[in-house]
Amino acid sequence: MDTARHDDATPGPDEGWPEEIELAPLHPADRDRPDDAAREGERLQKVLARAGVGSRRVVENMVDQGRISVNGRTVTVQGMRVDPERDRIAVDGVRIELRDDRVTYALNKPAGVITAMSDDRNRPTVGDMVGDLAPGLVHVGRLDQDTEGLLLVTNDGELAHRLAHPSYEVRKTYLAQVSGSVPRDMARRLRAGVGLEDGPVKVDSFKVVDTHAGQSVVEVVLHEGRKHIVRRLLAHVGLPVSRLTRTAIGPVKLERMRSGSIRRLTRAEVGALKEAVGL
Ligand code: URA
């Protein structure tokens, strides 16, 4: 006896599925299962040992001392599992970058080098300075050809984008050598804002560092990224710039880096930069 019933909803042996039939959603148990490491994360002490914070034993002691936090909460138990790509882990309040697939370098760009990874006119570039340190490096924002100092290069696209974008308001610090002496009310004037041809600009801080033989060295902090902004601003208030050096970008400082040198940022520096731009 033929027991198969061919009603409207059930296709016959050679008919395939009628188009209007919807397949039932996949049962959760039938979905691809993530591998164990991704699902459960890695042990905190292993991740931090790999990041160079200290041996596993040292990290366990730090946990006992309440020195480690994950996503803002102090870790109180040993053996916690974390996701190094997503969790924000801090030691003594300092965020530590845990990803190994991203690198960020600080350069002390000399005057004369252009901020580009290559140049069809064969001028010296930042790209020549970094060579093949890592694939996919981009420079974070720009310095004028004549400006020296701190420039970051990274293969972390989102970090580069956020650091360069004015909406994240990352402060940049510059030392400028200017002609003439600086009027006493200059800091107040620059903090209040000055009108340039492409719109007003305000500084976050301004101070005179040194004055000698008709020249002054001033420190300017601002979170603007417009072209030639420091030179234009200071020229506008009667202080033409003869030398300009960027000395800090947010929490990262140039300090004693020699002109033309490069160093990889520490995990704490990358962590602090990410924190500054909400990553
Ligand atoms: N402001 C300038 O005028 N030049 C730079 O390179 C950076 C900021």
Confidence of residue 214 (pLDDT cuts 50, 70, 90): confident
Q: DSSP secondary-structure letter at 79?
A: T
pLDDT 10s digits, 16-28: 544 454 555 555 5
Give, for ligand 1, the residue of 150, 220, 231 to mutate: max count of ligand atoms closer than 8 Å to Cβ.
Answer: 231
User: Which ranges constitute the DSSP H helices of 109-242?
Assistant: 126-130, 157-164, 186-192, 229-236
Site to probe by mutation for ligand 1, drawn from 244, 246, 247 as the one with most ligand atoms within 8 Å of Cβ, is 244
- Contact in structure between 53 and 60 (CB atoms under 8 Å): no
Atom of ligand 1 nearest to the CA of 143: 6
Contact 204, 265 (CB under 8 A): no
Find out whether the beta carbon of 236 lies less than 6 Å from any atom of ligand 1: no
109 lines ligand 1 (CB under 6 A): no
With left for phi above 0 and alpha for psi between -120 and 50, is residue 95 left, alpha or beta?
beta
Residues 155-191: tens digit of each pLDDT: 999 999 999 998 999 999 999 999 988 999 999 999 9
- How many other C-beta atoms lie within 10 A of the C-beta of residue 80? 17
Residue 168 alpha carbon to ligand 1 centre in Å: 18
Check if 162 has its Cβ closer than 6 Å to any atom of ligand 1: no
**E-only strand ranges, the chain:** 42-43, 68-70, 73-74, 81-82, 89-91, 94-96, 104-109, 138-139, 148-154, 172-179, 194-196, 199-201, 205-212, 215-222, 241-249, 252-253, 262-264
Q: Hey, which residues are catalytic here?
A: 144
Q: How far separated are the first and last CA of the chain, in Å rounded?
A: 68
Ligand 1 atom 7: residue of nearest CA: 143
Which residues is 114 bridged to in the sheet? 125
Per the CB < 8 A criterion, the answer to whether 115 and 142 are in contact is yes
Report how far ligand 1's centroid is from the alpha carbon of 119 (Å). Answer: 20
Between residues 278 and 4, which one has the greater pLDDT? 278
| pLDDT given at position 68 | 96
Distance CA 198, CA 75 (A): 50
pTM of the model: 0.80
Q: How far is CA 76 from CA 79, 92, 148, in A?
A: 10, 14, 46
Question: For 112-161, what is each residue's pLDDT tens digit?
Answer: 999 999 999 999 999 999 998 999 999 999 999 999 999 999 999 999 99
Block residue for tokens 């064969």: 122
pLDDT at 1: 42
pLDDT for the residue 100: 79
For ligand 1, atom 2, which residue shows the shortest CA distance? 228
CB atoms within 10 A of CB 184: 8
* Local confidence band at 40 (pLDDT 50, 70, 90 cut-offs): confident
The CA 24 to ligand 1 mean position distance, Å, reads 60
Predicted confidence at residue 184, as pLDDT, reads 93
Q: What is the pLDDT of residue 13?
A: 46
Ligand 1 neighbourhood includes 249 CB (under 6 angstroms)? no
